Amino acid sequence: MKRHLISAADLTRDDAVLILDTAEEMARVADRPIKKLPTLRGRTICNLFFEDSTRTRISFEAAEKRLSADVINFAAKGSSVSKGESLKDTAQTLEAMGVDAVVIRHGASGAPYRLANSGWIDAPVINAGDGTHQHPTQALLDAFTMRRRLVGRDAGLGKDLAGRRITIVGDILHSRVARSNVDLLHTLGAEVTLVAPPTLVPVGVETWPCEVSYSLDEVLPKSDAVMMLRVQRERMNAAFFPTEREYSRRYGLDAARMARMPEHAVVMHPGPMVRGMEITAEVADSDRCTVVEQVANGVSVRMAVLYLLLGGSEPAVTAPSRTEETK
């Protein structure tokens, strides 16, 4: 494992499988009466969020607290950043406070890389999403969810996703989730196909390790997992498709389209979902949709990443004490 987690493309196949296997151990903690490990007791982790987030910030905070770390939450709104403080000054303030790791989300692509490689701070940096660039822990939790559903919870240990066919549908242009998933799924041996309107396909996509299609109906029967993406209107400065109804008609997932998928295939979405446009309520609420599982798995995967980056030399999970078992 590298010192920082900035991009899914930085992970080797062995790194990624190690994180997924460690996450399986962490997931067992959720089944215990006391969902907490002493692994990072005495360590301080700062969640440095320059961009609004709900589920990612809460997921990281839950993971940190389950590992017994001390947590500092920083939001740019109402902080010295709104008074003009730079990323460098903020980083040096955290360095002076002795934080042991920084989780950063930033609207500018490359900000986590800059923080990790500038020398401003001597602590592992974890990218929680930067601009339209990368969101590596989202890709890891997606791969973890796919491996559990398509290979099996215990049968998947030590295995990757070789030969699995994954379809990613929607706003590829503005999606750091899509970029991260293409990189990680390719590393894990999966075959990825992107499906989107031509206006929402990035320039240079031909250099990505994936296929591109403009027909969702042709790809669905060959897919083991279909990942629907959120249309990111907040990042759009023009009209990328005629109407929501037209988008839904060509690229939305409804029950009729889901029926064209193989029986074992699953439906995924990083959330938040726009029901009625990207995905119908019938599909979102079906047993084949993994959205709620993805949220739960996110905590386990982030626990695994924090544990591995902060260099735990002892087993992450030990048998529960007799006291815990009897509570």
Catalytic residues: 55-56, 83, 105, 135
Name the residue range of residue 272's domain.
Answer: 134-289
Residue 271 is labelled as binding a ligand:
yes
> What pLDDT, in 10s, does the model give residues 46-76?
999 998 888 899 999 999 999 999 999 988 7
Residue 28 is labelled as binding a ligand:
no
User: Do 104 and 239 sit in the same domain of this protein?
Assistant: no
Question: What is the token pair recorded at 183?
Answer: 């990189």
Treating both helix axes as pointing N-terminal to C-terminal, what angle do 13-29 and 291-309 enclose, rounded to 10 degrees?
110
User: Do 277 and 302 sit in the same domain of this protein?
Assistant: no
The predicted structure's pLDDT at residue 258: 96
Residue 271 falls within a domain, yes or no? yes
Residue 232 falls within a domain, yes or no? yes
Residue 3 is labelled as binding a ligand:
no
Residue 83 is labelled as binding a ligand:
yes
pLDDT band at residue 287 under the 50/70/90 scheme: very high
Residue 66 falls within a domain, yes or no? yes
Edge-to-edge strands, sheet with 101-106: 70-75, 44-49, 101-106, 125-130
Residue 153 is labelled as binding a ligand:
no
Domain with 166 in it: what CATH number? Answer: 3.40.50.1370
pLDDT band at residue 128 under the 50/70/90 scheme: very high
User: Do 181 and 258 sit in the same domain of this protein?
Assistant: yes
Residue 326 falls within a domain, yes or no? no
Residue 302 has pLDDT above 50, yes or no: yes
User: Do 106 and 151 sit in the same domain of this protein?
Assistant: no
User: Do 112 and 208 sit in the same domain of this protein?
Assistant: no
User: What pTM did the predictor assign?
Assistant: 0.92
Domain count, the chain: 2
